[in-house]
Structure 1
Amino acid sequence: MPRRTRYVSTYTELAHQVRAAGLLRRRYAYYWTKIIGTIAAFAGIWVVFAFLGDSWFQLVLAAGLGVVLAQLTFLGHDSAHRQIFASHHWNDWTARVLSGLFVGLSHGWWMNKHSRHHANPNKEGADPDIGPSAFAFTPTVAQNRRGLTARLTRWQGYFVPLILFMGLALHIASIQRLMHRQQLKHRWWEAVFITGRFGGYVTVLLLVLPPGKAAAFFGVQMALFGLLLGGAFAPNHVGMPIVPPDLKIDFLQRQVLMSRNIAGGRLTSFAMGGLNYQIEHHLFPNMPRPNLRRAQPLVREHCAKHNIHYTETSLAGAYRVIVRYLNAVEHATMDPFRCPLATQYRS
C-alpha cells in the first residue's frame, strides 16, 4: 500500500476507535453548566463593580474580568468548532453571541482565519498564523524585513511578553474586518454586537471611575485577557516543523507532527481552554472539550503503533523551545523544513 494511502487508512482506524468509545457525543450538561456559570460570573463582576465604586480595588475585578472573558472566548471557540450542539445554526449563533456581544470579537473574521489554520497548520503560505506579524515565524518572513524590525528579529524570542497585547490586537483586527468591504456573513449583526459591547463597556467605566482609573481597569483587563489567550495558542505550534508550500502531507501526520500538547492537570486545562490537548483537537476538531483528555491515550497509542512522533511537554518547556526557535529564525543556516517528515517526502 502506498505510504500516503496507508496513513489515510490508519486515521480511519483511529476515528473508528474514537467513535466507538463515544468520544464524539455531545456533552450538553458540561457545556450548559459552563456557559451559565461563566455568564453568571461575568454579570457578578459588573454588579460588584457598581457597588465598589471609585476604588483602586477595581483592578482586582479587572483581572477577574480578563479571566472570565478568556473563558467566554474559549467557549466561543468550542461552539465555532461545533462541539457544543448538534445543530450548526445553534453552534454558529452561540459562537457569534459569545464572541461579539460578550467579548467584542468578530466571529466571522476569526472563523475564516482559524479554519485556514486547521486545514494547513504551520504550512508556509497557507496557515495565516505563521504569516507576517509582530513576529517572524519563518526565514522567508524574516528575510523580507528591513531596518529596525530586521535587526530586532534575532532577539524576537525575548519579546514573547508582547502576547499581553494580543487581546487588544484581536479587537483591532475585528473592527478592521468589519469596516472592510469584503463579504462577511452576518456583518451587521456582528457590527451591532461589537459596537454595542464596546460602547457599553467604555460608558460604564467612565460613569463609575475617573479617567485614570478607568484606563487602568481597561489596561489590566486587556493585558490578562491577552496573556491567557496568547498562553493558550502560542505553545501549540510555534517551534514545531514548518511545512514547505509545495509539500503535500496526509491528514494524520499533518495534524500530529505540527502540533504540541502541554502536560498538566485541571488548572492547565482551565487556563488553556482545553487547548493543551492540541493534537487531539486538531485530529477531531468537533470533539467536545472534556473528551479530549479521554481521547489522548488512544491517539498516543495509535501514533506509537505507526511510528508517528507525538509531542508533549510542560508549559515551561514549550516556551523554552519557542524562545530558541524565534531567536534562530533569522539565521540563514536554519532550515525550517528539517524534520523526519520533510526528509521522508523529499526522498
Structure 2
Amino acid sequence: MKLQEKYAVNTSLVGRGQPHLGEEHQALGKAVASAGAEVSGKQEADGKQEVPRKSLNTYTWQEIQRHNQRADQWLVINRKVYDVTGWAGRHPGGRRVLTHYAGEDATDVFRAVHPELDVVQLYLKPLLIGELAPGEPSQERHKNAQLVKDFQELRNTVEAMNMFDANLGFFFLHLAQILILEVLAWLTVYHFGSGWRVTIFIAFLLVISQAQSILLQHDAGHLSIFKKSKWNHLLQKFLMCHLKGLSGNWWNYLHSLHHVKTNDYTKDPDARMGPLFVLGDLQPVEYGKKKIKYINYEKQHLYFYVVMLPLLMPAHANLKSFRMMYLKRDWGDIAWVSSFYIRHFITFGPFYGIFGTLLLIYFVKFLESPWFTCITQMSHIPMKMSVEENQDWLTTQVLTTCNVEQSFFNDWFTGHLNFQIEHHLFPTMPRHNYHKVAPLVRSLCAKHGLQYVNKPMLTAFGDIVRALKKSGALWKDAYYET
C-alpha cells in the first residue's frame, strides 16, 4: 500500500512507533488492541490521563497567557495546564526552551522534541495544576483549529506506520564509514610519511569523516537509535566530543532552542548573527532605523565569503563550545573533548609534531566549514525570519525551512538534511524515513495553502547569498532614510 493510500485510511491505528504515549496510554492501547478495538486519533491528541476531572482546576486561555514570564511560567499540553516555574531550572533542554513557550499551547512541540514521552510524563505529573475550561479550544483562538487537527492526525498516521523506528543497520553503516576513514588516514601517514601531497589526501579523508560524524551525532542528539537512552548518550559523546572535538551539551542546548523557535531572531541562536549579519526583512530595517552599523551590511553578502564560510567551524563553533564548557565547568565534556586532541597527538604527532598536528586539526575544520555552512544555512537564511508570532507548529516549520531536491548524492552529502521541512516537523524521526513522509507533508501543505519549497541544491546555495544581499539592501534604505 502506498503512503498516500495509508494516509487516507483511519489515522487512529495504534502502532509500536508511538513515543508520545504515556504509561497510562500504552497500557490502555495494549488492552484495546487485544480486544480488537481501535483508539481514536482524537483521544491520542487530547492525551487524557488517569486524573479525576473533579480534582482539576479549569482555566481560560486569557488566564493562562498571563503566566508567560521567567518567574511565572504555565504551559498547556494536551489541554492540561502545567506550572513549570519552579522546575524550569532543572529542565534537561534548558530553562529558555520552557520560557519561550510560557503562556502558550506546547502540545505539538512537546510531542515533536521528546523521543521518550512516556518517561517525560513522569516529570509532568507533579507539575499538573489544572486543565482548559470545557468551552475553551485546545489551542489559542487565533490558530487554525482544522490545520492543527490535520497535522496531529498526520503525526498519528506516521507513528502507526512505524516511521519513528530507527534502522540500526543504517546508522551502523554510517559509523563504520567514519571509522574506516579515520583508520585509512592514519595508515596513509604511517606508510607514506607527511609530505604535502599525503597531507592533502589525509585532510580530504578527515573532512569527509568529520562531516559524517557531525551528521551522525545530529541523529543521536535527536532520536533514540538504541532502545536504552544511556547508549544514545554515549554514542553522541563519542561522535561529537571524541570524533569532532566539540561539546555535546553545548550543541544540545543551542540546537533545542533552534528547533522550538526556528528563525525567530530574538530566540533562535542560529538566527542571531548580529553584529556580523542582519537577516530577513525585519531585523535589517530595525538596525537601519537605529543607525546600527557594525559593518557595512550592504556588502554583507560579500563578507559572507571571507568570514562565515571559512570560519564558522574552526573559529565560531570551537570558541563557543570551549567557552560554554569553561563557564559551566562541564568536566564530563572537557574530558571527552580532551580525548579528541589526545587521539590526534598520538596518531599524527610522531609525523607532524604537536604544533603541526594542531595545524592539521584546524586545517581540516577550515576545509569542512564551507560544507557545514552551506548545508545548514541553505534551508533557513533564505526563508522567513521574524519575531515571536505564536503560530501553529506546521505553519512555523514550513515557513522557516525548505527542502533540497532528493538524489542519492544529495541525501549522502547533506545527511538527509535536504529534507529540512520533515526534519523540523518530526525531529525524532530517523532520517532514512524522511523521503517516505514527504509526500504526506506536501499534501497537507497543499490542503491548507502553505508553500512547500523544494529546490535544486545549487539554487539553495545561491539563495543564501541572494538573501543576504536583499537584507543588506533593506538595511541600507532604512539606515540612510532621512
TM (norm. structure 2) is 0.63
1:22 aligned partner:
162
2:254 aligned partner:
113
Which of 235, 239, 243 is matched with 2:378 structurally? 235
Cα gap change, 1:172 to 1:204, in 2 (>3 Å): farther
More helix by share: 1
1:258 aligned partner:
400
2:207 aligned partner:
66
1:45 aligned partner:
185
Which of 303, 307, 310 is matched with 2:445 structurally? 303
1:156 aligned partner:
300
Paired residues, number: 328
2:390 is the alignment partner of 1:248 = yes
Cα gap change, 1:42 to 1:205, in 2 (>3 Å): closer
2:425 is the alignment partner of 1:278 = no
Structure 2: give runs of 5+ residues left out of the alignment. Answer: 1-136
**How many Å separate the matches in 2 of 1:30 and 1:199?**
29
1:324 aligned partner:
466
Any idea what the Cα deviations from partners look like across 1:216-268, whole Å, max 9, x if unmatched? 644541222212211220111102111223x1101111111110111141111
Cα gap change, 1:108 to 1:10, in 2 (>3 Å): same
Any idea what the Cα deviations from partners look like across 1:263-298, whole Å, max 9, x if unmatched? 141111111111110000001101111111111111
Displacement of 1:10: 1.4
Residue identity matched to 1:139: P
Which of 151, 161, 182 is matched with 1:11 structurally? 151
Residue identity matched to 2:337: I
**How many Å separate the matches in 2 of 1:251 and 1:109?**
25
1:166 aligned partner:
312
Any idea what the Cα deviations from partners look like across 1:187-240, whole Å, max 9, x if unmatched? 212101112312442564442036896576445412222122112201111021
Could you tell me whether the CA contact under 8 Å between 1:101 and 1:194 is conserved in 2? yes
**How many Å separate the matches in 2 of 1:9 and 1:52?**
62
**How many Å separate the matches in 1 of 2:354 and 2:181?**
25
2:175 aligned partner:
35
**How many Å separate the matches in 2 of 1:285 and 1:83?**
11
2:247 is the alignment partner of 1:101 = no
SS at 2:148's partner residue?
helix
Identical counterparts, % of pairs: 23
**How many Å separate the matches in 1 of 2:157 and 2:386?**
28
Residue identity matched to 2:384: P
Structure 1: give runs of 5+ residues left out of the alignment. Answer: 336-347
1:339 aligned partner:
none
1:342 aligned partner:
none
**How many Å separate the matches in 2 of 1:87 and 1:140?**
49
Could you tell me whether the CA contact under 8 Å between 2:301 and 2:465 is conserved in 1? yes
Could you tell me whether the CA contact under 8 Å between 2:344 and 2:357 is conserved in 1? no
**How many Å separate the matches in 1 of 2:332 and 2:443?**
45
Could you tell me whether the CA contact under 8 Å between 1:38 and 1:72 is conserved in 2? yes
SS at 2:295's partner residue?
helix
Higher-RCO chain (CA-CA 8 Å, sequence separation at least 6)? 1
2:44 aligned partner:
none
Residue identity matched to 1:120: K
SS at 2:196's partner residue?
coil
Any idea what the Cα deviations from partners look like across 1:79-115, whole Å, max 9, x if unmatched? 0001522333222221111100111010101110000
2:129 aligned partner:
none
1:190 aligned partner:
333
Moved more, 309-318 or 160-169: 160-169
Could you tell me whether the CA contact under 8 Å between 1:41 and 1:68 is conserved in 2? yes
- Root-mean-square deviation (CA, aligned residues, Å) is 2.5
Cα gap change, 1:203 to 1:33, in 2 (>3 Å): closer
**How many Å separate the matches in 2 of 1:76 and 1:242?**
27
Could you tell me whether the CA contact under 8 Å between 1:63 and 1:220 is conserved in 2? no
Residue identity matched to 1:11: F
TM (norm. structure 1) is 0.86
**How many Å separate the matches in 1 of 2:463 and 2:375?**
15
Could you tell me whether the CA contact under 8 Å between 1:262 and 1:312 is conserved in 2? yes
**How many Å separate the matches in 1 of 2:232 and 2:167?**
13
Residue identity matched to 2:450: I
Could you tell me whether the CA contact under 8 Å between 1:54 and 1:210 is conserved in 2? no
2:371 is the alignment partner of 1:225 = no
Residue identity matched to 1:170: A
SS at 2:227's partner residue?
coil
Could you tell me whether the CA contact under 8 Å between 1:82 and 1:88 is conserved in 2? no
